[in-house]
Amino acid sequence: MNTQSNAMPESFQTQSVAPAALSATRPLYWSVRRELWENRSIYIVPLAVATAALFSFSISIIAGIWETSLRLDPARPQAPFDIAAGLMMATGIIVSVFYSVDALHGERRDRSILFWKSLPVSDLITVLAKASIPLVILPLLTVAITVAMQGIMLLVSSAVLLASGQSVAMLWTKLSFVQMWLLLLYHVLTAHALWPAPIYCWLLLVSGWARRAAFLWAALPLLAIAGVEKITFHTSHFAALVGRRFIGDVPAIASTGPDMFPTDPMTHITPGHFLGSPGLWVGLAVATAFLAAAVRLRRYREPI
């Protein structure tokens, strides 16, 4: 009897510890899924842009545009693939900006914040889940869609070249797609996730503070600082700093020539220089401060 009575509390205690161990990550996981469920434009817009680009590419290659360019410039057969990657990276930036501006403002505007605050999910988890969209989810989604897009482009190009009686050896031997995709992943995660993190976290902070016209309130302080600097000192250092952060212009990210695309096979990545850049860590510190302020704002901000 004593053995059974002692065993029952032990098993009960083991079962009670297991959910506690999972509770640290599950709220964040489901919060991220909630963002993807509520904001379907996160993946619909990049997929729509990729579909339109593939359609245009197929029409143009059938008409002979890209076929001619491959014959005239066999040293750079990756040109159309670079255009596709650049288009998807630009799309990712635009989607990230619009999502960040509306992330915390939207739930206050439609008053769904009252429902989400009733759930056992902290403001920190909620803000981190929203920040993960432009900083993690969208960059990875951009890379995945670009890889699939370039793979289809390769198949279409090969089919057209074979149909016209030409060799596809140039496409399959001179283009190292595995290297291009690894360079793309590195570039997107560094130049379009870590480097512009202060910009996206600033937009999240303003999204949680502004009662209306969040995009305007996010842009006005930046324009005001840039204007005062220009009038007072006749310089544009602040505007250039924000612009480089926004477009992902990272001098220490890799060793490339002025006319080389980030996924060019001749690119040599320099992660040591990037991780040792003071600008990276200063930017991450500023981004952390913005996120902390956004968490506090969400805790006390009322619905609009």
Residue 205 has pLDDT above 80, yes or no: yes
pLDDT band at 1 (very low <50, low <70, confident <90, very high): very low
Q: Which one, of 202, 201, 228, 185, lies nearest residue 131 by Cα?
A: 201
The residues, ordered by sequence, that sit 6+ positions from 100 with a Cβ below 8 Å of its Cβ are 130, 133, 134, 200, 203, 204, 207
Q: 192 in helix, strand or coil?
A: helix
pLDDT band at 12 (very low <50, low <70, confident <90, very high): very low
Overall average pLDDT of the 93-112 stretch: 89
Residue 289 has pLDDT above 80, yes or no: yes
Residue 16 has pLDDT above 80, yes or no: no
Q: Which of 11-20, 153-162, 240-249, 252-261 has the highest mean pLDDT?
A: 240-249
The residues, ordered by sequence, that sit 6+ positions from 135 with a Cβ below 8 Å of its Cβ are 193, 194, 197, 200
The residues, ordered by sequence, that sit 6+ positions from 57 with a Cβ below 8 Å of its Cβ are 66, 80, 84, 153, 156
Lowest-pLDDT range of 111-120, 221-230, 278-287: 111-120
Overall average pLDDT of the 8-19 stretch: 47
pLDDT band at 174 (very low <50, low <70, confident <90, very high): confident
Give the pair of three-digit tokens for residue 24: 């640290």
Q: How far apart are CA 101 and CA 96, in angstroms?
A: 9
Q: Which one, of 31, 146, 126, lies nearest residue 80 by Cα?
A: 146
Bigger pLDDT: 203 vs 80 = 203
Residue 15 has pLDDT above 70, yes or no: no
**What is residue 281's predicted lDDT score, i.e. its pLDDT?**
95
Of all residues in the chain, the percent with pLDDT exceeding 90 is: 47
Residue 79 has pLDDT above 90, yes or no: no
pLDDT band at 51 (very low <50, low <70, confident <90, very high): very high
Lowest-pLDDT range of 96-100, 108-112, 207-211, 286-290: 108-112
Residue 68 has pLDDT above 60, yes or no: no
Residue 199 has pLDDT above 60, yes or no: yes
**Structure pTM?**
0.84
Q: How far apart are CA 107 and CA 117, in angstroms?
A: 11
Task: Compute the radius of gyration of the chain from its Cα atoms.
Answer: 24
Residue 69 has pLDDT above 80, yes or no: no
Overall average pLDDT of the 84-103 stretch: 94
Bigger pLDDT: 263 vs 140 = 140
Q: How far apart are CA 171 and CA 153, in angstroms?
A: 11
**What is residue 299's predicted lDDT score, i.e. its pLDDT?**
82
Q: Which one, of 213, 218, 217, lies nearest residue 304 by Cα?
A: 213
Q: How far apart are CA 205 and CA 214, in angstroms?
A: 10
Question: What is the DSSP secondary structure assignment for residue 212, as one 8-state letter?
Answer: S
**What is residue 139's predicted lDDT score, i.e. its pLDDT?**
96
